[in-house]
Each structure stands twice: as structure tokens, then as C-alpha cells.
Copies of this chain bind each other. A is one copy, B any other.
Amino acid sequence: MDLHILDHRLRVTSISKTGLEQYTHPLIKLIFLRNRTRCKFFSLTETPENYTVVLDEEGFKELQPSEHLQVEGSTWLPLNVVSNGNASSSSQSVGVTKIAKSVIAPLAEQHVSVFMLSTYQTDFILVREKDLSVVVESLVEEFNIFREEGGESVPVHSQDACNGLQRNGREVPHATVHPVLIPENQFCVMSLDPDTLPAIATILIDVLFYSNSPREGASIDQDMECIKFFSFSMIDGYVSLVMDTEAQKHSSGELWRMVRIGGQPLGFDECGIVAQISQPLADSDISAYYISTFSFDHALVPEEDIVSVTEMLQAQRMSS
């Protein structure tokens, strides 16, 4: 299989719920007015806590600093696995499950933090730029690695692949097992022709920027039975949406349920969180999208698998 280090230098940011209003102007530009921006990698995910915005440096320039904007300090690079048809895997599963053993596990073993961003089209594994050499060394045995630069794919060879990394000698860190929350919502994951974005602009704008008024009488506990979650990404011209089926009434197709990982905000430095969830899913060949945000991680699994996934995660928590 091929692994591509994509030509985007990304920032991971968070906009507070109360601060969204003042970022409406740049966000609408980034989402709907492609002619006015050179941003090629943009993702916005609403959770109950905040809005996570991941975007390239061109996009990041549009966000004025303020008390409402938190910016993770690193530059992140997106990795993308391209199955070239010769993959030995017979798995029909999609998403993070497909790369759990080949990418996620080795990076966790090498203590590399990852920020996952699954979309309808593919899965992006974001790693810190400063970790790149470790990443390459961890994955060079399994993959043909290419670095994309100005439209060209340049092969990357590990400086010294047999050098430091003791793939089998090193202990897999005994990661903290985080509590999980499994809300009642059903989600759909959709792609969208970007040329049709104008036609649904007011609907999307309404969902993104104006649907945040809390329902009266709903306590936080009640809200947590259903979780507010909405994700939009436009990456290299491909649009992907994750929406609650309540917001997208006409959904047909697969339904997905969410596992939210983390009782307290997870931060960016712990490694192995994605591995902890994706490993058992891969063992059972259960498809999963995986979306990291500023505070928590989110796995989406098929509706029909949620019972077995719940049991699996309970067992994992019991044994830890």
C-alpha cells in the first residue's frame, strides 16, 4: 500500500460556542466562497463543547486571534493511505478500521500522537510535523511513502530505516482507558458535489451558525442522551458531511452511531487513544469513521454493530 504525506500544513483550532458569531464572516468565506480563498483543507466539527476547525495556513490566516479562538501550537501534516489494489487485506470494512493495524498501531507504539479526521471519501491521519521522521521510520516497512509537493508525489525513504526504532522490542505504552459515551443519535455520512453547495447554503448556514440556541427545559443530562454533533469538511474539492439524521430528514443509506471517547478533554499529547478503539474494531472487522476534535474523540460505527461495539468496549474497560 501507498502512504501519502499530503501537501497541506494544518492548524488545529477551537472556537468557543459563544465566539462563533464573530467568526461567521471568515467561516462562510471558507465554506461557500471558494473563489475568494486559497484554503484547500478545511474541516469544521461542532460538538457540545466547541467548534473544532482544522485548516491549512491559507485558511488559518482568515481567523483573527481572539479570546474565543484556541490554537494548538503545532503544525500538523495529513497522511492518507491509498490502497493500490494489491492490498492483501480482504476486509470490506471502511474507515479507520482499515488502517488500524498498519498505521494507527505502529504510530501508537512509537508514542506518536495522531489527530484523526475521517471523511466520506477517505481517512486523514494528522501527525505533528516534528514527528514526521519518526512517522516515516515507523511506517516505511509497511508502505511505499510519498510526499506530495506542488502536485508531484516524491518517494520518501527513511534516513536510516534499520536504525533506532525497535518495532518489536519496545513496549506498547499502557494507555489510559478513557470512559466512553454512546449517545442515542443516529448519524449519516454524506458526500456532496461542491457545485451544489450554493443550493443548500442557507440550510447549511442555518445548521452551522444558528441552531445553537439551547432548547428550553433541556438539562445537560437530557441533552447528553442525544449529542450535538455536526461535521463539515472540504478537502481538495471534496465535501463530506456528518449530520444527525434529525437534521437531515431525507437521509437514506447507512445509519451510524457514535462512541464518544473521553470523560475529560483528551488534549493532544496522549498517544494510543485511536489505537485503543480502532484495534478491537479491526479485530471484529467493524467499519468506523473516526473524528478527533479539540476536546474529545468520536468513532462512528454502523447502527447494526452498536450493541457488539458497546459490549466490546465494556469488556475493555472491565479488564483495564
Residues on A lying within 8 angstroms of B by beta carbon are 20-22, 24-26, 28-29, 32-33, 36, 197-199, 201-203, 205-206, 209-210
A13–B121 alpha-carbon span in the complex (Å)? 47
A205 touches B28 (CB 8 A): yes
Contacts A24-B28, A28-B24: A33 and B201 contacting too (C-beta < 8 A)? no
Give 5 nearest A-B pairs by CB, closest first. A24-B25, A21-B25, A198-B202, A201-B201, A24-B24
A169 to B: closest C-beta gap in Å = 55
A37 to B: closest C-beta gap in Å = 10
* Chain B positions within 8 Å of A25 at CB level: 20-22, 24-25, 209
* Chain B positions within 8 Å of A206 at CB level: 33, 36
A56 to B: closest C-beta gap in Å = 19
A25 to B: closest C-beta gap in Å = 4
A125 to B: closest C-beta gap in Å = 32
* Smallest Cβ-Cβ distance to A34: which chain B residue: B202
- Please name 28 pairs of A and B residues whose Cβ atoms are closer than 8 Å in the assembled complex, sorted by A: A20-B25, A21-B25, A21-B26, A22-B22, A22-B25, A24-B24, A24-B25, A24-B28, A25-B25, A28-B28, A28-B205, A28-B209, A29-B210, A32-B202, A33-B202, A33-B205, A33-B206, A33-B210, A36-B206, A36-B210, A197-B202, A198-B199, A198-B202, A198-B203, A199-B199, A201-B201, A201-B202, A201-B205
A92–B25 alpha-carbon span in the complex (Å)? 44
* Chain B positions within 8 Å of A197 at CB level: 202
Given A25-B209, A32-B202, A33-B205, 4 more A-B residue pairs with CB atoms under 8 Å apart are A24-B24, A28-B28, A36-B210, A198-B203
A26–B21 alpha-carbon span in the complex (Å)? 8
A73 to B: closest C-beta gap in Å = 26
* Chain B positions within 8 Å of A20 at CB level: 25
* Chain B positions within 8 Å of A32 at CB level: 202, 205
